[in-house]
Structure 1
């Protein structure tokens, strides 16, 4: 990278210089998972999201992507349990899932096969690239479920609930759209409650039960089950996009 581009925070390609701190790959994939990636991923991957494919950052045609259905967005779908559950419950919507962790992508693909859902699309990469190209006010609902907690104070800026991520997310969401956040980390709750409203959302809770109880259409994920086993309390926060 040239000195000028380094100063401006950009790659020579024009892409912003974005640090990525999460895992990209974990344990060795099973043969079946390798098969899912080889056979299914290309068809389900949304094209022209990465900077290499789309350096001009041309907007996605979300109407063409899902045939005009309402669009939901899940940031970091983990193993895909929630995304597939919602797709099966709501065939009238299209769900975009972003996840750079290839093991999670492989798990999602297996669940898609089992559930036989056809209203999902994947970006196997950084959600920030997806938010770059989603049209303004195109998303009807968004989910951030058990995101990386980054518990050390010096790492809190890596959390998704910072203005770096929330402002672009808010721009993609329609006025009145719902943003759900679930976490078992108390300090993540604090940061969520401080930062999300700054980005143009209002918290919809009217009492403690609104964050203590899961949503009516919720499915418990492996991350939540681990939290409960380790005696951490899940929090379910619902925000509405102002407009």
Structure 2
């Protein structure tokens, strides 16, 4: 008998406006080919096994939005395997379209809650993780819904290798303060900025995302944090 799928509280949209016929066809035809399998029970998934030709490392983006950032890195790092996690099906369709246009075969996707994957991902299997401009849930009563938390880091701490990088970006200063407070109370991740531009400017290999562009247009400063797994 198959085990029941783990039930988790999920906050956020899974679907927006109706997909165009071509995008819907991509979801039906192409998504199954690149879908990350969720292992039953205690079975662990080695993400390296998802890619052929073999890759030298695996990076993951949690909440890739429309996929412009992930597609860019996948195209400029063909020897890296990418895990893209995004429950919003319209964003998944957008990334699938980019993957087809750019002929990207080093990307695997999960259109569901990242916690389903983190429960089964092999230890020390990730070299970099991106969490860029996640929903800040600005209302005080909703802040417990925020993605970045001790619970998330407990999982990532197991699956990220020593010295692996965790990148976080947001234009919500309350969220930034909370993230720094969470990390400062742990001994498995370090933040070591040398100067202010280390957090005021995006990494040199980054591209501007839609959410980042919206923030800049209204004069909202963005903060870029880079943490190292101990």
Do the structures match in fold with TM over 0.5? yes
Which of residues 98, 116, 119 in structure 2 aligns to 1:129?
116
Closer, same or farther in 2 for the Cα pair 1:14/1:124, shift >3 Å?
closer
What value does the CA root-mean-square deviation take over the aligned residues? Answer: 1.5
Deviations 1:5-52 (A, max 9, x none): xxxxxxx9373x4210110001111122112112210001012x1xxx
Segments of structure 1 that go 5 or more residues without pairing to the other structure are 1-11
The match for 1:5 is: none
Partner Cα separation in structure 2 for residue 168 and residue 93 of structure 1: 22
Equivalent pairs, count:
225
The match for 2:130 is: 143
What is the Cα deviation at residue 122 of structure 1? Answer: 0.4
Partner Cα separation in structure 2 for residue 223 and residue 57 of structure 1: 36
The match for 1:225 is: 213
The match for 1:62 is: 47
Runs (4+) of structure 1 moved beyond 3 Å? none
Deviations 1:160-210 (A, max 9, x none): 111121211121100100000011110111011111344521013111110
Partner Cα separation in structure 1 for residue 5 and residue 25 of structure 2: 34
Secondary structure, aligned partner of 2:168: strand
Partner Cα separation in structure 2 for residue 191 and residue 70 of structure 1: 30
Partner Cα separation in structure 2 for residue 57 and residue 29 of structure 1: 36
The match for 1:194 is: 181
The match for 2:106 is: 119
Which of residues 164, 171, 174 in structure 1 aligns to 2:151?
164
After TM superposition, the structure 1 = structure 2 runs for residues 1-243 of structure 1, keeping only pairs within 5 Å, are 13=4, 15=6, 17-47=7-37, 49=38, 54-66=39-51, 67-199=54-186, 200-242=188-230
Segments of structure 2 that go 5 or more residues without pairing to the other structure are none
Partner Cα separation in structure 2 for residue 144 and residue 150 of structure 1: 15
- The answer to which of 70-79 and 226-235 deviates more is 226-235
What is the Cα deviation at residue 68 of structure 1? Answer: 4.8
> When the two structures are superposed, what TM-score results if normalisation uses the length of structure 1?
0.88
What is the Cα deviation at residue 102 of structure 1? Answer: 0.4
Partner Cα separation in structure 1 for residue 59 and residue 84 of structure 2: 9
